[in-house]
Amino acid sequence: MSSPLLVKISRDGKEIGTYEAKEAVRLLVYGTLKETDFYWHEGMTEWAPLLKLQASESRRELAERALQQKQEEAIKAEQLAQEKDKAKEEENRAVAEAVRVRLKNERATWFRCHCCRESFPKPMGGPEGDSDGVQVLGVIILLVAIIAGLATGLGIVGALLFGMAGLAMYWGPEIRSRLPSLCPNCRSTNFSRPEKTDEQK
| Predicted pLDDT at 38 | 92
Q: How many domains does the chain divide into?
A: 2
Residue 191 lies in a domain: no
Residue 199 lies in a domain: no
Per-10-residue mean pLDDT of the chain, 201 residues long, equals: 80 89 87 89 88 85 87 91 91 90 78 80 62 56 65 62 62 58 76 57 46
Q: How far is CA 65 from CA 32, 59, 194, 198, in A?
A: 27, 10, 69, 62
The range of the structural domain enclosing residue 165 comes to: 126-179
Amino acid at 171: W
6, β-bridge pairs: 20
Residue 47 lies in a domain: yes
| Predicted pLDDT at 76 | 92
| Predicted pLDDT at 131 | 47
48, β-bridge pairs: 39
DSSP reduced 3-state for 186: coil
Residue 27 lies in a domain: yes
Residue 48 lies in a domain: yes
Residue pair 64/1 in contact (Cβ under 8 Å)? The answer is no
Residue 98 lies in a domain: no
Domain boundary among 30, 53, 68: 68
Q: How far is CA 30 from CA 14, 23, 34, 52, in A?
A: 21, 11, 9, 17
We report the CATH number of the domain holding residue 62 as: 3.30.1490
Domain boundary among 51, 68, 85: 68
Residue 116 lies in a domain: no
Dihedrals φ, ψ of 62, to 5°?
-65, -40
Residue 57 lies in a domain: yes
Domain boundary among 46, 68, 90: 68
| Predicted pLDDT at 152 | 62
| Predicted pLDDT at 75 | 92
